[in-house]
A and B are shown apart, each in its own frame.
Chain A
Amino acid sequence: MYEKDGEKYFVVDTHMHYWNAAPDNWVPGAEQFAKGWIECFYGYHGLGPPETRWTLEKYQKYTEEDLMKDVFDEGHVDVAIFQPTNLLEWYKEGFNTTERDAILYEKYPGKFILNTSFDPREGEDGLKTLRHNVERWGCKGVKLYTAEWRQGSRGWKLTDPEAYKYLEACADLGITNIHVHKGPTIWPLDKDAFDVADVDHAATDFPHLNFIVEHVGLPRIEDFCFMATQEPNVYAGLAVAIGGLMHARPRFFAKVMGELLFWVGEDKMTFGSDYAIWEPKWQVEGFVDWDYPPGAEFDDYPRVNTATKKKILGLNAAKLYGIEVPAEYRLDAGEGTPAAPDDARLVEQV
């Protein structure tokens, strides 16, 4: 929780990691990719405030103690949601697998929500693993990388028949939150991997699933916005938007927030620190203090108030994941309903 000026914020970090990218975990023969990957992440890290930066050595492999301190003791986070990133081709034990995240999930009851992942190209075996993970850990969400290249396949789409089998399984198993990574990626080489049209179709066909597009579709924010405004069950995951822009490019950050608030709306935006890319502390504190800078160019964006920030920092995600929010953190009557699809305004004319 975070308290400022008498206002209490319940914080759900919807997008964070517990990775090991140190040389001891690099797959022989794939060292340049393993090294390149974490150095690429480290580049993003450099967009945070200088006093929050780590050494590359610590960044490659931080400890359980680091995570608990950075996220909960100092980072104001009440509940943190693990999003796995497997990358088993480059990292021997994977970069940040469901199994690795589960170590902390099991050790600290109530602190974490454990999401898993699937790849429809794994067929029946993958479905079995998905069922197993839900039975074992009660996963309610998945993180998907549709652009991942795999054994001659150049990525997949949520609308593929195989993917629909998995989405149907999610609906049966009680997985309700589908986090889709449409952000920067490597493969496929020759297509525009950021296309969000498949999310559009899947969201229509699976109205009881929530689709959270991570990194707000960066670098294609506009395509995401034009799609999300038409789908009541599509949400904007703010990981990277806050961490990558709020400090480094405050004016662009204000415009990105303005666009998201206009097209998607404050009921459908969720905070994610993307830890350990950045620590949550400065992001939570900075966002609570944030408002548009002065200037006519920001005048016609929707305004923000404390209720807006409470929803984005935690109440929307708490609703999506069924997290009980203590009474003192909830909104007062008349301040709206977090994550309410009906409140989302369809922008089809201005």
Chain B
Amino acid sequence: MSTALVDSARVLRALAAVRDPELDEPITSLGFVASCTVSTDGHARVRLRLPTYFCAPNFAFLMVADAYDAVSTLDGVRATDIALEDHFAADAINGGVAARAGFARSFEGEAIGELDKLRADFLRKAVLAGTDLVCRPLVASGVEPAALVTLTLGQVPPSRALDRLRQRRAELGLPADDGAPLLIEPTAGTPVAVAAVPLHLRKARATRVGVEANAGICRGMLRHRYDTRGEGEEET
């Protein structure tokens, strides 16, 4: 008797580490995983879906490629079949990811360069938005905004938002250890000066509002497009 090393729950957990780079949320909770199955002999099959037929193909490519990496490297997975459905560029994306071709080769003649810079730009937005998520409760609890510049990450009470902020900063190579300042410029990684704090916080909030409004529109359109829930989808 053979016992499967991997089941669909484990694959789904791996997929939960894959984010929509623009919305900075897991593709699972967004409802983008239409189905996720694993056969007893370790063949993983995942179908992904997006809110519209014309969702930006660069972001779509990143999600499919990241999903492929997350699933294919799991112990016990012997074959990986990941496909995006109902999208105008589905064939190019699915074929390119399966062939490990990279973005530029998958869209030969239409794309130049890979997507690293795009991903970094959006990680910086995630750092700014995450700064609002962490700082807002601090200010509400009585911390003066100007005093935020004296705080280090290690001095901020633990929270999921703080973990996430640290993780995003680390991904960008920005300081993320206990001794690192809470407020930094997301491009240079330098500390924010006291005089610049109010504007920095305003920008952080505007960025968070932008990202959340986008996510809201995407969720609404996905729900209108599909009447089934995604694997791991979470209501907001």
Q: A residues within 8 Å of B by Cβ?
A: 32-33, 36-37, 39-40, 43-47, 149, 152, 154, 184-193, 218-223, 225-226, 244-245, 248-249, 252-253, 255-256, 258-259, 262-263, 296-297, 347-350
Contacts and interface: CB of A to CB of B under 8 A. Distances in A.
B58 interface: yes
B110 A249 contact: no
A249 B111 contact: no
Contacts, number: 126
A226 B203 contact: yes
Given A36-B54, A186-B54, A349-B199, A252 B209 contact: yes
B194 interface: no
A40 B199 contact: no
B73 interface: no
B96 to A, nearest CB: 12
Given A40-B54, A226-B203, A190 B216 contact: no
Interface residues of B, number: 43
B88 A221 contact: no
23 contacts: A36-B88, A40-B53, A43-B224, A43-B225, A44-B221, A46-B224, A47-B220, A47-B224, A154-B110, A154-B112, A184-B54, A185-B56, A186-B56, A187-B110, A188-B111, A222-B210, A225-B206, A249-B217, A252-B213, A255-B212, A255-B213, A347-B202, A349-B198
Contacts of A221: 206, 209-210, 213
Contact of A219 (B113, B198, B210): B210
B147 interface: no
B115 interface: yes
Given A186-B54, A296-B140, A245 B213 contact: yes
A192 B117 CA distance: 10
Nearest to A262: B202
A223 B206 CA distance: 9
Nearest to A256: B213
Contacts of A347: 199, 202
A176 B79 CA distance: 59
Q: Which of B103, B203, B217, B223 has the most C-beta atoms of chain A within 10 angstroms of its own C-beta?
A: B217
A226 B207 CA distance: 10
B198 A190 contact: no
